[in-house]
Amino acid sequence: MSRSTAREDMLRSAAMLFREKGVEATSLADVIEHAGAPRGSIYHHFPRGKPQLVEEATRTAGALMGSMISAGLAKNGPTDTLRAIIGGFRDQLESTGYTAGCPVAPAAFEGSNSPAALAAAGESFTSWEDTIAASLWQRGLSQQRSRGLATMAISAFEGALIIAKAQRSTVALDRVETELIGWLDAALGAAAGGNADS
Amino acid sequence: MSRSTAREDMLRSAAMLFREKGVEATSLADVIEHAGAPRGSIYHHFPRGKPQLVEEATRTAGALMGSMISAGLAKNGPTDTLRAIIGGFRDQLESTGYTAGCPVAPAAFEGSNSPAALAAAGESFTSWEDTIAASLWQRGLSQQRSRGLATMAISAFEGALIIAKAQRSTVALDRVETELIGWLDAALGAAAGGNADS
DNA sequence: GTCTATACGAAGATAGAC
DNA sequence: GTCTATCTTCGTATAGAC
């Protein structure tokens, strides 16, 4: 029942290193060093080794993002939430030399190797989509438009992060932010105008 | 001057394996086996080893995609090209058990390790964007809208491929296809109506 | 819980024969 | 050009002491 901060530090460090270098290129030694954790403790906290670490780091990061999305949507609405989240990732992209992307995508990408981590990534994406779609539906959009816009938002966001890393620039992320906000506003405006759209 | 098919086979195999398993998880032995290539020839064809192979495979795959985009836009227009390309990736996703994604993204993702491959990925994305934006602009959209839509299309496409892998389903890709076509049609219709839009 | 030491295997890369 | 053999490094994982 000890609230082992060491374990959580390792998960946080793992997630950060995955964002920057990918899963396969990150060794357990890297994680220990980054976390400043005791060297002999990894297999104590994660008996099943690296696969377990990858899965838990992905699942934890996905849940954190999910609660950020939920909280933002409840408090500030879709466009402001989008702005806040994209702004946060832009800052981290810039402050890490365009290496730190999404913490969930690495497991999705290199996930052939650890199916559990792949599943964790898939469930995270699905959960985000559900949350966003529900919020849009509550604001008057049809189910179909809500789903479509939610999937577009997450897809464009994930894709823009990859492109930003490759181009070593945030222009793709900037453009996606602008476009998404425009489309969201248009759709929500039309719904507020009394039509939930086709 | 010998047209070494062996070399090209290795590049093709490398690109395919990168799509399925990622760069770091793919060994040179994997590439040789997949290509059915002679074991002693890798360092003959790629003297600088794996980094060179990754860079060339990424660059080649990016150029191939680029010419598919160009040809499609010139012959069939934006929406049909989008449909064709997404359809092709959907087929490959399904026929590979949801493992084969974009051939350029892996280098962008795990690119911290080989800067040359990262650059190749970035240049590919930029080139695709330029091509698509030019086509949209030619059809009457403003420069800004052309750029915005082109970046959105590529971002959403790349993101949807990741999500599809993680969810082991093509629904994200399907939704992105529908949404993108809707937005493209709306923008192009408005431009055809005599207004290049704001 | 954390340590050191070590076993084991995988992978990149090189050397030199053919 | 292609082969085999080998070197070296690295990473996961385990064993057993403290």
User: What would the pLDDT profile of A80-112 be if each residue is shown by its tens digit?
Assistant: 999 999 999 999 999 999 999 999 999 999 987
Count CB neighbours of A174 within 10 A: 16
- Tokens matching residue B117: 């491959």
Q: Give CA–CA dist B65/B60, Å, rounded.
A: 9
**CB pairs A-B closer than 8 Å:** 169
pLDDT of residue B17: 98
For residue B117, how many C-alpha atoms fall within 13 Å in the half-sphere facing its CB?
29
CB of residue A27 closer than 7 A to nucleic acid strand D? yes
Task: Locate the chain A residue with the closest alpha carbon to B18.
Answer: A110
pLDDT tens for each residue of A122-168: 999 999 999 999 999 999 999 999 999 999 999 999 999 999 999 99
Confidence bin at B198 (pLDDT 50/70/90)? very low
A1 pLDDT exceeds 70?
Answer: no
Helix locations, A139-170, DSSP H:
143-167
CB of residue B38 closer than 7 A to nucleic acid strand C? no
Percent of chain A with pLDDT over 90: 90
* Bases of chain D with protein Cβ within 7 A: 1-4, 10-16
pLDDT tens for each residue of B142-195: 999 999 999 999 999 999 999 999 999 999 999 999 999 999 999 999 887 644
Q: How far apart are the first and last CA of chain A?
A: 53
B30 pLDDT exceeds 70?
Answer: yes
Percent of chain B with pLDDT over 90: 90
Q: How far from chain centre, in Å, is Cα A4? A: 25
pLDDT of residue A112: 77
Confidence bin at B196 (pLDDT 50/70/90)? very low
pLDDT of residue A2: 52
Q: In Å, how far is A157's CA from the nearest CA of chain B?
A: 7
B197 pLDDT exceeds 50?
Answer: no
Q: Give CA–CA dist B84/A133, Å, rounded.
A: 28
pLDDT of residue A193: 62
B109 pLDDT exceeds 60?
Answer: yes
Q: In Å, how far is A32's CA from the nearest CA of chain B?
A: 20
Tell me, yes or no, if A155 comes closer than 8 A to chain B by beta carbon: yes
Q: How far apart are the first and last CA of chain B?
A: 53
Q: Please state the rounded mean pLDDT for residues B74-85.
A: 98
Tell me, yes or no, if A101 comes closer than 8 A to chain B by beta carbon: yes
pLDDT of residue A196: 43
pLDDT tens for each residue of A20-41: 999 999 999 999 999 999 998 9
pLDDT tens for each residue of B5-28: 899 999 999 999 999 999 999 999
Give, in Å, how far the C1' of C17 lies from the CA of A72.
Answer: 68
pLDDT of residue B2: 52
Q: In Å, how far is B121's CA from the nearest CA of chain A?
A: 6
- Please report residues of B whose CB lies closer than 8 A to that of A106: 109
- Tokens matching residue A82: 């989008």
Q: Please state the rounded mean pLDDT for residues A40-55.
A: 96
pLDDT of residue B58: 98
Smallest Cα–C1' distance to nucleotide C10: which residue has it? B27
Of residues A82 and B4, the one with the higher pLDDT is: A82
Q: Give CA–CA dist B163/A161, Å, rounded.
A: 13
Query: Considering chain B, what is the average pLDDT of its residues?
Result: 94
Question: Does B22 contact A21 at a Cβ distance shorter than 8 Å?
Answer: no
pLDDT of residue B3: 58
CB of residue B40 closer than 7 A to nucleic acid strand C? yes
- Tokens matching residue B169: 């389903």
Percent of chain B with pLDDT over 70: 95
